[in-house]
Structure 1
């Protein structure tokens, strides 16, 4: 796996997106001393099939679940933008709000969802994921590095431009970077278990995750029994 960054920013659409896609890699990074920040575009208030709670109650519950999940993999800073779950669009406002956090955190690496539709996977093509990925990448290039973009961030909030040199895309086509998470797999499972409102039985999910991560590792040529998450890494400089 590539060198561990000093600072990384993970931008996802919903609580639990990071835990399914990259929590193992995040655990590897934090164990090596990286500072990782999570930014969730929504509070996940439209998650689940039950209508027994009000949206505000669901949002509060899912924010707390995400904070607990993040702590399992060493992430202490979890932020929420509060955009409506199920209605995320790639707007200038969203680009500005992600740019703000990029300039605050000043990460060397970002992890984002795939902005492209995957015709082979309906679940991987959730519109919130695609919109978040597109807005996040637009915030990386050109917005966060351009002093003329969202001028209020510079002039009113004193947030200087910042260039993110590397973006790791999850769930996209042609992934080519495999992160060995074998030694931290249990931490990934613990993070997912924190999402009690979304995951009914973690014991049922764990073997499915192990199989999925095992296929990833085999595709990377790792020894039998190893587990991996996969990314497409994009250099921006």
Structure 2
């Protein structure tokens, strides 16, 4: 293993608090029942449409009124993208350790590039991130392996020499389809429909904390170093 790639929301960065704040504010403004924070958290990895659907369950997602609400949600999020957002606890030391070992790390996400770049800028990660692959960069997004292959190509590495960490079945599917070593971040925003049978995701490894994640990554890097000496 010569590089580590992360999904963004729910894996590398804990963005849920800002999404929860905005969705619940929308509920208040519309006089609707406040959506439970934990329910919103399970929908973060499903994207803006899924979160807005929690507020307006009666609207079809292609309804112009729904699309207007979705755009408003995105505008509010873009304007206040990192009010209560930060890396998951323990992630800063993990990234620092990778950098000290000259192991590049990057991001493969289904989050739009504009929002992804704004988030990295707000957290002072832009220069540290070796590669950022977003939906605009590929013709097919995760779970297709195309974005994984693109990230590996930009790192000038074979895909099978990369670790991929994610908190959604499509993350693991994309990594597996690209022959990467996949790690399921069970501390993340696990979708309701899939959280009760994590073994079914077929990840190479499941971790429950960032501390466990750091341990697994270092094991793989140490094994790689031992094989090459």
User: Would you tell me which structure has more helix in proportion to its own residues?
Assistant: 2
Query: Do both share a fold (TM > 0.5)?
Result: no
